[in-house]
Amino acid sequence: MFSNEIPYSKMLKRCATILFLYYTGYPPLRKGALKLSNLTHTDSMMNEIRELLLNARQRMAVQVNTELLSTYWNIGKIIVEHEQENKDRADYGKQTLKELSKELTKEFGKGFSVSNLQFMRRFYQSYQIQQTVSVKLSWSHYCELLTISDPDKRSFYEKETINSGWSIRELKRQISTSLYERLLLSEGKTNKETVLALAEKGIEMSTPLDIIKDPYVFEFLGVPENKPMLESDLEKALVAQIEKFLLELGRGFMFVGTQQRITLNNTHYYVDMVFYNKILRAYVLIELKTTKLTPEAAGQLNMYLNYYAAEVNDEHDNPPIGILLCTEKGDTLVRYATAGLDPNIFVQKYKIQLPSEEEIKKFLSKEIG
């Protein structure tokens, strides 16, 4: 043993102590206790152990999830096959699931309620080719997806959950705010081809139009629909809920700031909110209006885009994108207010509360036919 090294037994003890503190989030150490600054001899060892444990934890989680999905898929398969063999008995399936739930719960514990067994059956029926099941999603994700009867719609949310890494809560929020339908509406003219493309590939972000929604929904603010609101208050509320606002904006958005100053001829102007989309490699400028669209607002946003294109963009950035959010807009007014302006200006409505299902269905039935 070298004279300037810590005894091996002490090193192990110190590593164990650090691991305990790391995983438990224990309060700061008392005077005289072990400090990280004294662990110069064990830093390398600690880093290796930490990496080993974190990688092992991740591999175990993936393996457990893979086995769980496979098991539930096969249970669903067994249930469906037995039901098909006894299809002449009308009450067979319902009664069998009750008995099966009782026996499985008795032997294996929780997780085998009748409703969960029904999800397993639906899981197999919806994904009869097991290889189409993605191990990137958890069983809880699939339970949420299986509540969607439309296969195209379900496929879209599945693709986007994988691509965007949505949690269960985020997936529920996107479904409840009718993201799929709003994206179809934002295309302007919806047809069966766009529905199919959205279902098969999810959101393909290659043009500014791909990030636009109609309408934007800010239900997470918890503000009554008819409550008067200043633009500054709306901006502050969105910043306070920035993570949820970023979720609503979509994939690839990074928050730059609010009230970004532009100075022209000794006059200061302020852009309400500025983001950068790393997928499109473009700045996204958002102007908030708590009233209906005005031509002046469109012209001002056009000036901001010209400034960013000339003064802020670097050689790797694409032309900036402008989104003017207002409570009301008319197609005719939008057409004349934006005529001759930057083509990357989009005038969109926002809602404080969720659009009704009747509103969505009425539009889709008319557009898709």
106 phi, psi to nearest 5 deg: -65, -40
CA-CA distance, 305 to 364, in Å (whole number)?
33
Segment 307-330 mean pLDDT: 94
Q: Where residue 223 falls among pLDDT bands split at 50, 70, 90? A: confident
pLDDT tens digits for range 84-122 = 776 655 456 677 888 999 999 999 998 899 999 999 999
Which of these, 194, 235, 185, lies nearest to 213 by C-alpha position? 185
Q: Which residue has the tokens 């003064």?
A: 311
- CATH code for the part of the protein at 208-358: 3.40.1350.10
325: β partners: 288, 348
Residue ranges of the chain that CATH labels 3.40.1350.10: 208-358
pLDDT of residue 73 exceeding 60, the answer is yes
Q: Which residue has the tokens 């989009």?
A: 346
CB-based burial of residue 291 (10 Å sphere; 0-12 exposed, 13-18 middle, 19+ buried)? exposed
pLDDT of residue 363 exceeding 60, the answer is no
Q: Where residue 203 falls among pLDDT bands split at 50, 70, 90? A: confident
CA-CA distance, 249 to 323, in Å (whole number)?
11
DSSP string for residues in 186-211: HTSS--HHHHHHHHHH----SSGGGG
CA-CA distance, 52 to 49, in Å (whole number)?
5
With a CB cutoff of 8 Å and minimum separation 6, the contacts of 199 are 151, 152, 153, 155, 156, 159
pLDDT of residue 364 exceeding 60, the answer is no
pLDDT of residue 125 exceeding 50, the answer is yes
- The answer to whether the CB of 283 falls within 8 A of the CB of 305 is no
Helices (H) and strands (E) in the chain, counts: 14, 6
Of the candidate ranges 167-171, 190-194, 196-200, 245-249, the one whose mean pLDDT is the lowest: 190-194
